[in-house]
Amino acid sequence: MINPRLNQWFKTGTPWIWLNAGAIAIALVAVFGLLMLILMRGMSHFWPADVQAFYYKNNENALTVIGEIVESETIPIDTLPDFKKIRNTQAGDKTVTRYLVKTGNRDILGSDFRWLYDINLVKTEQPKNLMVLERVEWGNFYGFLNTVYENDQMVAEGETAWPEFIKRLHRVIDIRKQILQLERVKIGAVNYQLERIRLKERRLQLNNDLSDAAKKEIETQRSELKQQYSDLLKQTKELYQQINRDSIRATVMDGSEVTVPLKKVVKAWQPNKMTLWNKLGFYMHSLWDFITEDPREANTEGGIFPAIFGTVMMVMLMAVLVTPFGVIAAVYLREYAKQGVLTRIIRIAVNNLAGVPSIVYGVFGLGFFVYFLGGNIDALFFPEALPSPTFGTPGLLWSSLTLALLTLPVVIVATEEGLSRIPKSLREGSLGLGATKAETLWRVVLPMASPAIMTGLILAIARAAGEVAPLMLVGVVKLAPSLPLDGNFPYLHLDRKFMHLGFHIYDVGFQSPNVEAARPLVYATSFLLVVVIVTLNITAINLRNRLREKYRALDG
Amino acid sequence: MKNPSLQVRYNRRAFKDRLARYFVASGGISVIIAILLIFFYLLYVVIPMFEPAEIRESASYRAPGDGKTLQLGLEEQGTVGVRFTSEGHVIFFKTDSGKIIRDENLHLPASITSVAANLNLVALALENGSVLAIRYKFDLSYPGDVRTLTPVLDYPLGKDPLVLDESGAALSHIDIQLSDDVVGVAATTNDNRLVFARYQREESFISGDISIELESRSEQPFQGEIYAVALTPGLDHFYASAENGRLFDYSLDEDGFDGKKRTYNLEHKITRLKLLLGGSSLLAGMENGEVQQWMSVRKDGGRELVYIRNFVKNRQAVSYIATEQQRKGFAVADNRGNITINYSTSQRTLASINTANTLVDQMAWSPRAQNLIVSDSNNLVHFYKVDNEYPEVSWDVLWEKVWYEGYDEADYIWQSSASTNEFEAKFSLMPLSFGTIKAAFYAMIFAVPIAIFGAMFTAQFMAPRMRQTVKPAIEIMEALPTVILGFLAGLWLAPYVETHLAGIFTLLIILPVGFLLCAWLWGFVPNKSAFEGWEAALLVPVVLLLIWISTALSSPVETLFFNGSLRNYMSNVWGLDYDQRNALVVGLIMGFAVIPTIFSIAEDALFGVPQHLVRGSLALGATRWQTMTSVVLPAASPGIFSAVMMGFGRAVGETMIVLMATGNTPVMDMSIFQGMRTLAANLAVEVPEAEVFSTHYRVLFLAALILFLFTFVFNTLAELIRHRLRQRYSEL
C-alpha cells in the first residue's frame, strides 16, 4: 500500500461498507429506473405530440418533412454508412446529431420513420392547421386538409372543411360500430348455430340415429338460419355502401394532394391547435380506446381489449381451480398428516416445485393435458367434430389447469405459513370446548388463516398473470377470432384459444412485421401489465405484514 | 349423553368429522400425486426412446413361384411383397401367406447375372451385357370401401434391355442410380472391366414415351476379383470392393471415369457394399461380420472416404445389407441367418433375430421400416414385423460428439428440422446445455455481487426504516414478468449496449471507484451520525450521476480510442464477433431477474444471525466491518450459498428473457459478445411444432425432464442447507 493512511482507512472497513451500500443503490436504481422507463415510454404513446414541418436540404435535394420527433441521438460520423450524403459536414466534424422522425403515410412514403440530420435542417415550424389521422390501415396520416367530398360532390373547403370533416367522421364511426356489431355478434351467432347444427347432424349420423324426422327438423332449422344470414348480409352491404359515401382531399408533405376515404379514418386531430386541456382530454380518450378496443394491423395498432379479457379469464379460472386444491393440500400437510420425515420431504418437494422452470409445466401441460386428456375427451365426447379437435388442442381450460399446477406450491406454502402462525392455544381452546377437529378447522382455524390464503392467492394470480412461456405451449394465440366468453350457448368456451397480455408483448415486440412502429404499443401494454402485477404484489405484501402483526398480538 | 337427540347430534358431528378427515386426506394426497405426475409423465414420454427395437417373425413359407430369389420388395403397409426370380419372373404375393397375386414373366433374352436395387427400382444385368430397369408400384383403390392394391410394373429405361457393354460380356456386378432426367449404370464384366454409362432420360408428358440418350460410356480394366460395387446418387463415385480387403474409389464426372482412383484398406474381405439413404455414407459388410460406415468427407480440396464407425453384432460373414428408405438405418444379415437392425448415427444395434439358421441371401424393408422380408438359401421367405420408432437417439448422440454426414468432423450439433427428405435430425443436447450454463453464468457474474453485497448492507448496516421499504421494493422486482424484461432486453438494452459499449465498460470501472470516492469524501462531512444506515440512499444519486457520466463519455471514448465504434473496432482489430443480442445483454437483464431471489434469501440468512453474536463482537471492540466478515458472514454462509444456488436454478430455467434477448443460435462459444440457445428457450420454440410422439418430441421432453431434475435437485439441496442453518440459529 502506497499510502499508510489509505491503508488504515481500508482497515476500518468503511470503504467496504460503502461498496455494499453501492450494491443496494445499484439494485434500487435498476428497479425504479426500469419502472420509470416503462412508465415514460408506455404513457407517452397516447400523447398527441406537436407535429413539425422540417425544411430540409441535403447533398441531393431539398424537401419538406412533416412528422413528430421520436428520438434524437449524437453519433460518430464514421458509423454512418451513408455519411457522404450529408451536406454540411465539416472536415473536422466527428459526430453528428440526428432525429428519428415519425412521418407516417406509410402507403405513400414506404416507411413510417426517417432520420433527419441536424446540420441539414433549414427551418422548422409548427403549422397550426396540420392534421393527423389515425387510419384503419397503413398507420398514421399527416397532412393539410383541403376539401371534403360527398360522393363526387365537394361540400366544404377552407375554414369550414375541418368542422364538416369531423361531423362526417362521427357518422362514419357510428356506421362502423353498427357493421362491427352485425358482423361480429349477429352473423357470428348465426354461424355458430349453423356449426352446432352440423355437429348435431354428424353426431346423430355416427350413432345411427339420423331418422327422417330429425333430418327434416335439422333442414328447417338450417334454412331458417340461412335466411337470417342472408338478411344480415344484406344489412351489412347497405351499411358498407353508406360508409363509402364521404372522403376528403389533403396535401401531404411532398406537396401532392391525395384522397382519403373517411371509412379508413379512425380518429382525426390537429395537435398544433390543441390546448393543454384538449390534449389531456384526447390523451385520456386514447388511453380508454387502447384498453377497450380490438387490435388492428397484425396487433401493431388499435387496442388490447381481447388480451386483457383473455388474461383475466384465464387467471380467474386458474384461481377457481388452484384455491380449493392448494388449501386442502396445505390443511392436510399441516393439520392431518403425521408430522414425520415423509411430511417433511413432501413439504420440501412442494416448496421446490415453485423453483421448477415454468416452461417445464408448459411441456407437461401440452403432453398430458392437451394430448392425453384432451385427446381422450375428444374421442369420448366430441367424436362428431373429429378430426378437428375440440379439447385435444391448446385452449383456455388447459392453460388455466397448467398455471394452476404451476401456482399450486405458492398457495400451499402461503396457506401453510398462515396455518402455522395460528397460536396453538386457539385450537386447543376450541377443542377444549368440545368442538370436533373439523369444526375447529372450519370455524376457527380457516377463518383466521383466510388472510394468508388470500395472500397466497394474490401471489399466485400475480405470478400467473405474468407467466408467458408455458402458455405459448398450451393455449395463447396471437389473434383469437372470438373471446372465450360470449352470447352463444354455453357462453363460456373452455376449448377456445385466447389472447394474453404477456404473449401480446412477445408477439408484437418480436414477431410483428413492423416492430419499430409497434414499439410504443408494446411499452404501453407492458406498463399495463406491470401496474396490475405490482398492485397485486403490494396488496399481498401488505396483507402479509398486517397478518403478522395480528398474530404477534395474539401470541403476546 | 342420556339425551337421545344429543346422542344423534353427537354421532352426526363425529361422522362429519371423520368425513372431513377423509376428504382432506384424499384431497391432499391427490394434490401431492398430481405434482408427482409431472415427473412421471415426463419420464413416461422419454423412456421409449431408450428401449430396444422389437422384431418378430410373423410368417414363413416357401418362396412363392419358381427359381431363386434375386430381389425382394414390399409395399407401404407391408401387405404385399414382390420377388424377382432367377427365371426372369416378377412375382407379387401376400406377405402373410405367400399366396401369389400376380406372376409376370419378363421374357428376358438372356439369363440374369446380377441385380441391383434402389428403393423400388430394380436393375437386372443380363449375360449379354445389357440391363433392364424395372420399377414396381402399387396402385391404391377402394372398390366397395376395401383397400385394394394393384401391382404395376413400369420400365423407366424402356421395355427393352439397354445395352451397357457393347462387347456383350456378362455383367457380374451392377448398381444403378436414377433421377428425373439422368440415369447412371455402373457394372463389372466377367472379363475384368469396370463399365460406367450415363444416360439422359426424357419422358413425354403426353404419350408417356421414354427416350433414352447415351451421354457417355467409359471403362477401366481391373485385376483380380470384385465382390461388390456401389454407385453414388450424384454419379460422382463408383466404389468397388476387391481382394485383400481393399476398397477402390473411382471418381466419375460427366464423361465417365476421370482417371482418379483412391484405394482404402479395410483389412478384411468386403462382402457387401451399400449406400445409406442420401448416398454420402458407404456401408461395407465384411467377412468377419463387422459392418463399417465410411463417409465422403471434404479433404484438401477433394472428397475422400473416412472411417466413421462400425457395427460388430454380426459374427459371421455379412451376406446382405438392406438400408431403410426414409431413415439412416439398416439391417445386416450374415451367412448363419443372424439379422441385426442397426442405426448409423446413433451407432446402435437395436434388435437381432435368427429364424432362418442358414445363409440369408436377400432382404428388403417396407418404405416405413415397419416390415422386413427375408429370403434364405433354403428358398424360404421370412416375414418380420419390426417396431423400431426411435433408433436415432442414444447417449452418445445426446452428449458426445457425433460425425454427421456433410460435416468435416465430429461435433455437437442441435438441428432438429430441415426441408429435405435426406436430412437427418441432429439431437445433441450439448449446445443447449452449454448455452443454458453460459446464460446462467453471465447472469450470476452480474447478480451475485450486487445481491450479496446488497444483502449484507441491508441486513446489518441499513437503518430499519429504510429496510422496510427496500426489501419489498426488491421483492417486487422478483414479480416483474420476465416477458417484459425480455422485451426490454431485446428491443431497448441490446441496441443501447451496441452503441454504448464503451460506456458500459466504463461504468464497470467508475461505479466502484465512485463509491470509494464518496466514502472518502464522506469522511470529511461533520455531523454524519444522523445519516448512518442511509448510505445506500445517499448513493442513489451518485449511481445516477455515474451512469450519466459513462453514457456521456461513451461516444468520446469510442471516438478517441476505437475509431468511433468499439463494436466495429473489436471485430476488425481483435477479431471478436459481435451479436447484437448477446450474453452481455442476457447477463445484465437475467442478472436483474435473479438478484431478488438471491438477495431475499441471503438477506434472510444474514438478518437471522442472532443479535447477541453481533453485539458481543461489537462489544469486544471489533469494527462493524470486522463483525460482518468474521462473525455474521461465517454464520450465514450456508444460507448465502443456498441463495446462490436458488438464483442459479432460476437462471437455468428462465425462458422468456433468453428467448427474446439472444439470437437463439445453438453455438458453443463462451464469448460474452455471442448469443446462445438454452434448453428452456429451445423448448418454447420447438415444442409447439414437434410432431406428437416423434423422436424430436421425445427428445424435447427429455430436455424438459433434465431441466426439471436439475432445478429440483439444486433447489432441494439449497433448501436442506437452509434448513440446517435455521436449526443452527435456533440452537445458538
Residue B684, domain member (yes or no): yes
Residue B362 and residue B446 in one domain? no
Paired strand residues for B54: B387
Closest CA to A34 of B359, B21, B484: B484
- Rounded to the nearest angstrom, the minimum Cα separation between A473 and chain B is 6
Q: What tens digit of pLDDT does each residue of B449-464 get?
A: 999 999 999 998 888 8
Residue B431 pLDDT exceeds 80? yes
Mutate: best of A363, A459, A529, A543, partner B, most B CBs <10 A: A363
Enumerate the residues of chain B whose CB falls inside 8 A of the CB of residue A526. Answer: 484, 487-488
pLDDT score of A1: 46
Do the Cβ atoms of B555 and A76 come within 8 Å? yes
- Rounded to the nearest angstrom, the minimum Cα separation between B413 and chain A is 23
Q: What tens digit of pLDDT does each residue of B139-155 get?
A: 888 887 788 888 888 88
Do the Cβ atoms of A533 and B479 come within 8 Å? yes
Residue B280 pLDDT exceeds 50? yes
C-alpha–C-alpha distance, residues B145 and B612, integer Å? 88
pLDDT score of A109: 80
Enumerate the residues of chain B whose CB falls inside 8 A of the CB of residue A518. Answer: none
Question: Cβ of A71: how many Cβ atoms within 10 Å?
Answer: 11
Residue B303, domain member (yes or no): yes
Single-letter amino acid code for the residue at B646: M
Break chain A into its structural domains and give their ranges.
42-144+250-290, 152-244, 305-555
Residue B456 and residue B563 in one domain? yes
Residue B447 and residue B486 in one domain? yes
Check the CA dihedral A364-A370-A374-A378 and report its sign.
negative
Q: Chain centroid to CA B279: how far?
A: 22
Enumerate the residues of chain B whose CB falls inside 8 A of the CB of residue A359. Answer: 653, 655, 680, 683-684, 704, 707
Cβ A412 vs Cβ A326: under 8 Å: yes
Do the Cβ atoms of B35 and A349 come within 8 Å? yes
Mean pLDDT calculated for residue range B233-248 = 89
Enumerate the residues of chain B whose CB falls inside 8 A of the CB of residue A353. Answer: 35, 38, 712
pLDDT score of A94: 67
- When CB atoms are compared, the residue of A29, A351, A462 closest to B540 is A29
Residue B277, domain member (yes or no): yes
- Mark B490-506 as b/e (b = at least 16 C-beta within 10 Å): bbbbbebbbbbbbbbeb
Give the model's confidence band at B681: pLDDT under 50 very low, under 70 low, under 90 confident, else very high. Answer: very high
| Structure letter (DSSP) for residue B411 | B
Closest CA to B403 of B298, B331, B473: B298
Q: Domain A305-555 - what CATH class?
A: mainly alpha
Residue B607: all three cell numbers together: 438478518
Residue B483 and residue B399 in one domain? no
Mean pLDDT calculated for residue range B458-476 = 87
Digitized pLDDT (tens) for each residue of chain A, 556 residues in all: 457 777 888 877 888 888 999 999 999 999 899 999 999 888 888 888 888 888 877 766 777 888 888 888 777 666 666 655 555 555 566 677 888 888 888 888 877 888 888 777 888 888 888 888 888 888 888 888 888 988 888 888 888 888 888 888 999 989 988 988 888 888 888 888 888 888 888 888 888 877 888 888 888 888 988 998 999 899 999 988 888 888 888 888 888 888 888 888 888 888 888 889 999 999 999 999 998 988 887 788 888 999 999 999 999 999 999 999 999 999 998 888 888 888 888 888 888 888 889 999 999 999 999 999 999 998 888 887 778 888 888 999 999 999 999 999 999 999 998 898 888 888 899 999 988 888 999 888 988 888 888 888 888 988 888 899 999 999 898 888 788 888 777 888 888 899 999 999 999 888 877 777 788 888 999 999 998 888 888 888 888 788 777 777 765 4
Residue B645: all three cell numbers together: 444456488
Give the model's confidence band at B134: pLDDT under 50 very low, under 70 low, under 90 confident, else very high. Answer: very high
Residue of B nearest to A402 (CA): B38
Do the Cβ atoms of A466 and B479 come within 8 Å? yes
Q: Please state, for a pLDDT cut of 90, what percent of chain B lies above it.
A: 30
Q: What is the 3-state secondary structure (H, E, C) of B246-305?
A: EEEEEEEECCEEEEEEEEEECCCCEEEEEECCCCCEEEEEECCCCEEEEEEEEECCEEEE
Alpha-helical runs (H) found in A47-187: 106-109, 161-180
- When CB atoms are compared, the residue of B17, B28, B656 closest to A332 is B28
Place of cell 400376380: B102
Enumerate the residues of chain A whose CB falls inside 8 A of the CB of residue B630. Answer: none
Enumerate the residues of chain B whose CB falls inside 8 A of the CB of residue A325. Answer: 27, 31, 34
Give the range among A476-480, B250-254, B457-461, B573-577 with minimum mean pLDDT.
B573-577
pLDDT score of B671: 86
- Rounded to the nearest angstrom, the minimum Cα separation between A84 and chain B is 16
C-alpha–C-alpha distance, residues B291 and B332, integer Å? 8
Give chain B's end-to-end CA distance (angstroms, integer).
Answer: 52
Residue B645, domain member (yes or no): yes
Enumerate the residues of chain B whose CB falls inside 8 A of the CB of residue A378. Answer: none
pLDDT score of B522: 84
pLDDT score of A137: 82
- When CB atoms are compared, the residue of B547, B625, B700 closest to A13 is B625
Residue of B nearest to A94 (CA): B559
Closest CA to B83 of B317, B361, B271, B355: B361
Residue numbers of the domain that contains B301: 54-414
Residue B444 and residue B380 in one domain? no
- When CB atoms are compared, the residue of A32, A412, A537 closest to B479 is A537
Enumerate the residues of chain B whose CB falls inside 8 A of the CB of residue A350. Answer: 32, 35
- When CB atoms are compared, the residue of A25, A350, A356 closest to B540 is A25
Q: What is the 3-state secondary structure (H, E, C) of B664-703?
A: CCCCCCCCCCCCCCCHHHHHHHHHHHCCCCCHHHHHHHHH
Question: For residue A184, with 0-12 CB atoms within 10 Å meaning exposed, 13-18 middle and 19 or more buried, which class applies?
Answer: middle
Enumerate the residues of chain A whose CB falls inside 8 A of the CB of residue B458. Answer: 24
Residue of A nearest to B703 (CA): A360
C-alpha–C-alpha distance, residues B313 and A129, integer Å? 87
Residue B695 pLDDT exceeds 60? yes
- In angstroms, the Cα distances linking A438 to B12, B14, B633 are 12, 9, 46
Place of cell 406428437: B692
Mean pLDDT calculated for residue range B396-409 = 88
C-alpha–C-alpha distance, residues A226 and B95, integer Å? 53
What is the torsion angle, in degrees rounded to the nearest 10, for the CA atoms of residue B62, residue B66, residue B71 and residue B74?
-60
Last residue of a domain, one of B379, B414, B449: B414
Residue of B nearest to A357 (CA): B653
Give chain A's end-to-end CA distance (angstroms, integer).
Answer: 55
In angstroms and rounded to an integer, the radius of gyration of the C-alpha atoms of chain B is: 37
Mutate: best of B1, B19, B31, partner A, most A CBs <10 A: B31
- In angstroms, the Cα distances linking B254 to B129, B461, B668 are 22, 83, 41
Do the Cβ atoms of B453 and A20 come within 8 Å? yes
Cβ B252 vs Cβ B238: under 8 Å: yes
Question: For residue A447, with 0-12 CB atoms within 10 Å meaning exposed, 13-18 middle and 19 or more buried, which class applies?
Answer: exposed
Last residue of a domain, one of B387, B414, B441: B414
Q: What tens digit of pLDDT does each residue of B160-189 get?
A: 888 888 888 888 899 999 887 889 999 998
Alpha-helical runs (H) found in A207-267: 212-243
- How many domains does chain B divide into? 2
Peptide bond preceding A409: is omega within 30 degrees of 0, i.e. cis? no
Residue B34, domain member (yes or no): no
Residue of B nearest to A322 (CA): B31
What angle separates helix B4-46 from helix A341-353, to the nearest 10 degrees? 60
Enumerate the residues of chain A whose CB falls inside 8 A of the CB of residue B46. Answer: none
Q: The domain that contains B67 carries what CATH number?
A: 2.130.10.10
Enumerate the residues of chain A whose CB falls inside 8 A of the CB of residue B626. Answer: 13
pLDDT score of B453: 93
Mutate: best of B13, B508, B656, B686, partner A, most A CBs <10 A: B656
Give the model's confidence band at B684: pLDDT under 50 very low, under 70 low, under 90 confident, else very high. Answer: very high
Closest CA to B434 of B687, B657, B670: B670
Do the Cβ atoms of B458 and A24 come within 8 Å? yes
Mutate: best of A359, A361, A444, A458, partner B, most B CBs <10 A: A359
Residue B474 and residue B536 in one domain? yes
Q: What tens digit of pLDDT does each residue of A297-332 get?
A: 778 888 899 999 999 999 999 999 999 999 999 999
Enumerate the residues of chain A whose CB falls inside 8 A of the CB of residue B599. Answer: 27
- Rounded to the nearest angstrom, the minimum Cα separation between B641 and chain A is 16
Check the CA dihedral A331-A334-A335-A340 and report its sign.
positive
Residue B606 pLDDT exceeds 70? yes
Residue B455 and residue B557 in one domain? yes
Enumerate the residues of chain A whose CB falls inside 8 A of the CB of residue B719. Answer: 348, 351-352
pLDDT score of A307: 92
Cβ A522 vs Cβ B491: under 8 Å: yes
Paired strand residues for A259: A249
Do the Cβ atoms of A25 and B458 come within 8 Å? no
Question: For residue B191, with 0-12 CB atoms within 10 Å meaning exposed, 13-18 middle and 19 or more buried, which class applies?
Answer: exposed
Residue B234, domain member (yes or no): yes
Residue B8, domain member (yes or no): no
Residue B163 and residue B82 in one domain? yes
C-alpha–C-alpha distance, residues B126 and B255, integer Å? 24
Alpha-helical runs (H) found in A119-243: 161-180, 188-206, 212-243
Mean pLDDT of chain B: 88
- pTM for the whole structure: 0.90
C-alpha–C-alpha distance, residues B376 and B337, integer Å? 8
Contacts with A153 (C-beta within 8 Å, 6 or more apart), sequence order: none
Residue B278 and residue B380 in one domain? yes
Do the Cβ atoms of B719 and A358 come within 8 Å? no
- In angstroms, the Cα distances linking A379 to A386, A398, A400, B601 are 8, 17, 22, 48
Q: What tens digit of pLDDT does each residue of B19-31 get?
A: 988 988 888 888 8
